[in-house]
C-alpha cells in the first residue's frame, strides 16, 4: 500500500551558506534534491514537499530596501515577500523535479500551491523576534544595519555569523489541506506551505489580511502532516543526524530517540531555538499526535536505510 509523506526541505537545500544566491546555483541544488526525492517514489511513497525560504526572503527584503532607497519604489510587506518566495522557489523545485522524473521514466503531475497559514495577531512571538532570514553578516555589519533599519539581528547558533531575525508566530490553520491531501494521494506531487506559509489573520470575522512575520517552516510542515494524516514526516536539513552537545568536543550523533527522550534533551538545552529546536518540536508534535515516526536528516541521506535520526512514539 502506498504511503504519504511530508518532506520539509530546508532553505539551505536550495541556497547553501557561502553561495551568492544565483538562480543557477539554486537550480543545481534543487536538481540534487530532486534526485534524492525520487527515491521516495521507488519506496512506494506519495509525498508533499514543503520548503524553507530564509535565505531567499531575506534577499528579497534586501532588494526591496535598496530599490526603495535608490529609486523610491515602495517596499513589499513581509507577507507579500513570503508569497513572492513561494512562487519562484516552487517553480525551481517543480522544474528540476519534473526533469528528474523524466530522466527516470516516471510520470507525476507537480502542483505548487501558494499557501496561506492563519496565525494569532496577539501571539507573543511578535514581541520577541527569533526567526533568522537572509544572509550571514559580521557583527559589525549586523550592528550597522540594525541601527540603520531598526531591525533585530542575532548570532547564528552554528557560529556562521549574524542574521536578521523576525517574528515567528505559531501556525494555527493551514488553508487548502483537503485539496493538498487529495492531489497527493492521487499519485501527484504537491509543493505547499513554502517558507512556513504566508502569515495571515482575521482582522474581522470574514476579513483575512497579511501580517509581518515568517512562520517556522518545520512547525507549519508538522501541522500540515497531521492535518492530511501523513504516514511519515521527514525534515531535511544540513546535517546527517541530530547531535547532542552540538559543535563541542562532546558532540554525539543520535540514531534514534523516543518522543520523551527528545523532550528531555530539549529541556536540557541541547537544541538551539534558532536552529535545531523548532525541528525537534515539529517532530515531537507529529509523533505525539499520530504515533508515526519522524526523521531528521540531510538530503544526501534521504531514502537510505538507517539514515538520519528517527524520532518514535516509544
pLDDT in tens, 40-94: 998 999 999 999 988 888 889 889 888 988 999 998 889 999 999 999 999 999 9
Q: Catalytic: which of 53, 90, 164, 217?
A: 217
H helix or E strand, kind and range, residue 34: helix 23-42
Catalytic status, residue 131: yes
Q: Which three cell numbers stand for residue 217?
A: 517552516
Cα torsion 122, 57, 26, 24 to 10°: value is 160
pLDDT in tens, 111-135: 999 999 999 999 999 999 988 887 7
pLDDT in tens, 91-110: 999 999 999 999 999 999 99
Catalytic status, residue 289: no
Catalytic status, residue 20: no
Q: Catalytic: which of 164, 232, 279, 301?
A: 279
d(CA 153, CA 174): 29
What one-character DSSP code corresponds to residue 219? H
Confidence band of 27 (pLDDT split at 50, 70, 90): very high
CB 312 within 8 A of CB 258: yes
Nearest to 166 by CA among 179, 153, 156, 157: 153
Is the pLDDT at 221 greater than 90? The verdict is yes
pLDDT in tens, 235-268: 998 889 999 999 899 999 999 999 999 999 999 9
Q: Which three cell numbers stand for residue 99?
A: 526533469
pLDDT in tens, 174-195: 999 999 999 999 999 999 999 9
Query: What local confidence, expressed as pLDDT, does residue 86 receive?
Result: 97
What one-character DSSP code corresponds to residue 301? G
Q: Catalytic: which of 10, 11, 58, 277?
A: 11
Query: What local confidence, expressed as pLDDT, does residue 85 receive?
Result: 95
Catalytic status, residue 277: no
Q: Can you tell me whether residue 225 is helix, strand or coil?
A: helix
Query: What local confidence, expressed as pLDDT, does residue 1 receive?
Result: 64
Q: Catalytic: which of 10, 12, 134, 194?
A: 12
Query: What local confidence, expressed as pLDDT, does residue 20 receive?
Result: 83
Q: Which three cell numbers stand for residue 255?
A: 540514531
pLDDT in tens, 133-166: 877 889 999 999 899 878 899 998 778 899 888 8
Q: For the domain 3-239, what is the CATH code?
A: 3.40.1160.10
- Predicted TM-score (pTM) of the model is 0.90
CB 232 within 8 A of CB 293: yes
Q: Catalytic: which of 131, 164, 232, 301?
A: 131
Query: What local confidence, expressed as pLDDT, does residue 132 receive?
Result: 81
Q: Which region holds residue 18: left if phi is over 0, alpha if psi is between -120 and 50, else beta?
A: left
The residue that leads in pLDDT, 298 or 65, is: 298
Catalytic status, residue 204: no
Is the pLDDT at 12 greater than 80? The verdict is no
d(CA 310, CA 314): 11
Query: What local confidence, expressed as pLDDT, does residue 162 receive?
Result: 93
State mean pLDDT over 270-295.
94
Amino acid at each position: 500500500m502506498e504511503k504519504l509523506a511530508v518532506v520539509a526541505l530546508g532553505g539551505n537545500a536550495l541556497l547553501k551558506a557561502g553561495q551568492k544566491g544565483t538562480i543557477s546555483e539554486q537550480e543545481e541544488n534543487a536538481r540534487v534534491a530532486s534526485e534524492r526525492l525520487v527515491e521516495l517514489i521507488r519506496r512506494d511513497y506519495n509525498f508533499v514537499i514543503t520548503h524553507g525560504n530564509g535565505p531567499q526572503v531575506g534577499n528579497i527584503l534586501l532588494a526591496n530596501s535598496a530599490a526603495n532607497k535608490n529609486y523610491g519604489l515602495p517596499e513589499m510587506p513581509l507577507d507579500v515577500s513570503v508569497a513572492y518566495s513561494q512562487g519562484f522557489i516552487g517553480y525551481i523545485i517543480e522544474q528540476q523535479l519534473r526533469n528528474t522524473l523524466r530522466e527516470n521514466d516516471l510520470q507525476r503531475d507537480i502542483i505548487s500551491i501558494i499557501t496561506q497559514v492563519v496565525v494569532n495577531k496577539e501571539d507573543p512571538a511578535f514581541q520577541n523576534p527569533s526567526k533568522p532570514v537572509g544572509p550571514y553578516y559580521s557583527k559589525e555589519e549586523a550592528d550597522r544595519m540594525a541601527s540603520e533599519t531598526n531591525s533585530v539581528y542575532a548570532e547564528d547558533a552554528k557560529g556562521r555569523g549574524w542574521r536578521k531575525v523576525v517574528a515567528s508566530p505559531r501556525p494555527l490553520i493551514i488553508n487548502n489541506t483537503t485539496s493538498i491531501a487529495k492531489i497527493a494521494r492521487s499519485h501527484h506531487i504537491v509543493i505547499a506551505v513554502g517558507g512556513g506559509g504566508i502569515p495571515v489573520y482575521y482582522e474581522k470575522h470574514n476579513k483575512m489580511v497579511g501580517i509581518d512575520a515568517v512562520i517556522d517552516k518545520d512547525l507549519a510542515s508538522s501541522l500540515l502532516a497531521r492535518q492530511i494524516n501523513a504516514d511519515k514526516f521527514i525534515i531535511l536539513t544540513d546535517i546527517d543526524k541530530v547531535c547532542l552537545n552540538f559543535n563541542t568536543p562532546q558532540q554525539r550523533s543520535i540514531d534514534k530517540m523516543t518522543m520523551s527522550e527528545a523532550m528531555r534533551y530539549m529541556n536540557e538545552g541541547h537544541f538551539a531555538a534558532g536552529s535545531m529546536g523548532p525541528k525537534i518540536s515539529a517532530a515531537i508534535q507529529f509523533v505525539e499526535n499520530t504515533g508515526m515516526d519522524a526523521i531528521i536528516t540531510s538530503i544526501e541521506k534521504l531514502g537510505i536505510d538507517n539514515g538520519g535520526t528517527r524520532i518514535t512514539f516509544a
